[in-house]
Amino acid sequence: MQKKYAPLIAFLAVLLLLAANIAAHAALCAPTFAYAGEKRIFLTFDDGPSTVVTGRILDTLKEENIRATFFIVSDRVRGREETLRRIVREGHTVGVHSATHDYAAIYASDETLLADATACAACIRRVTGVTARVYRFPGGGTSAFARQSALLREHGYTVVRWNAVCGDEEIAGASPETLVRESIRTAGNKANVVLLLHDSAPHRATAEALPAIIAHFRAQGYVFCAY
Ligand SMILES: [Zn+2]
């Protein structure tokens, strides 16, 4: 090899290494990509958007440079279109939760379940231009979970469950400190945490707890991911 090419080859090698590093980093947050030894946490917010709580949560996520996933209730979007657009603009993922969050109406039949998801997705598309690809069952689903999941998959959705909760729906009147503690307790030592939180209007304590929740999992070496 001619000596004069050595700097060029070295430069190309550095470029290649950089590209590989960027690709590896991008894959860290691909939800289906299992990374040995890598701890990941998905912050998932259900039942928004709300004006104050979603806004505060977005402020914190921006400060911390973290992407999260918001499963929205489209009946709550009217008057909060700008909040929904902000979620998308700041790089977060918007998923379908429900149009109405009315369990009896949603779970009356497969048709009503699909109609509810379709109405929510249509609202997301109309307001943000985004086609939602992830879905979370209102109330976590029913005994027909497997069949209904298959149905939703056929319609292009990935169904996202959770394996840890902050307790903001389970523990009435929980303080921010309790929500932080509950997040840590239910996450246990899982390498792949999907944490359920809520950003609907009553959940100011969740917004207050978020910085400490983030600090804890960051200190434990978790990478923050969105779907
Ligand atoms: Zn919900």
Cα of 17 vs centre of ligand 1, distance in Å, is 44
Cα of 103 vs centre of ligand 1, distance in Å, is 10
Cα of 159 vs centre of ligand 1, distance in Å, is 14
- Residues 192-227 have pLDDT tens digits of 999 999 999 999 999 999 999 999 999 999 999 999
Cα of 47 vs centre of ligand 1, distance in Å, is 5
Q: 8 φ, ψ to 5°?
A: -65, -45
Q: Give the pLDDT of residue 191.
A: 96
CA dist 175 and 128 (Å) reads 33
CA dist 142 and 103 (Å) reads 10
Integer CA distances (angstroms), 217 to 32, 109, 210, 221, in order: 20, 40, 11, 6
- Confidence at 24, pLDDT banded by 50, 70, 90: very low
Cα of 113 vs centre of ligand 1, distance in Å, is 14
Q: Give how far the C-alpha of residue 44 lies from the chain's centroid of Cα atoms, to the nearest Å.
A: 4
Cα of 65 vs centre of ligand 1, distance in Å, is 25
Beta strands in 124-191 (DSSP E): 134-135, 158-159, 164-165
Q: Give the pLDDT of residue 177.
A: 98
Q: Give the pLDDT of residue 27.
A: 34
Q: 159 φ, ψ to 5°?
A: -85, 130
CA neighbor of 193 nearest in space, from 148, 160, 156, 170: 160
CA dist 217 and 46 (Å) reads 20
Q: What is the mean pLDDT of residues 86-108?
A: 98
Q: What count of other Cβ atoms lies within 10 Å of the Cβ of residue 210?
A: 27
Per-residue DSSP letter, 51? S
Q: Can you give the pTM of this predicted structure?
A: 0.85
Selected residue with higher pLDDT from 28 and 113:
113
CA dist 138 and 13 (Å) reads 50
Cα of 101 vs centre of ligand 1, distance in Å, is 6
- Residues 151-197 have pLDDT tens digits of 999 999 999 999 999 999 999 999 999 999 999 999 999 999 999 99
Cα of 35 vs centre of ligand 1, distance in Å, is 30
Check if CATH label 3.90.320.10 holds for domain 35-225: no
- Residues 121-140 have pLDDT tens digits of 999 999 999 999 999 999 99
Per-residue DSSP letter, 80? -
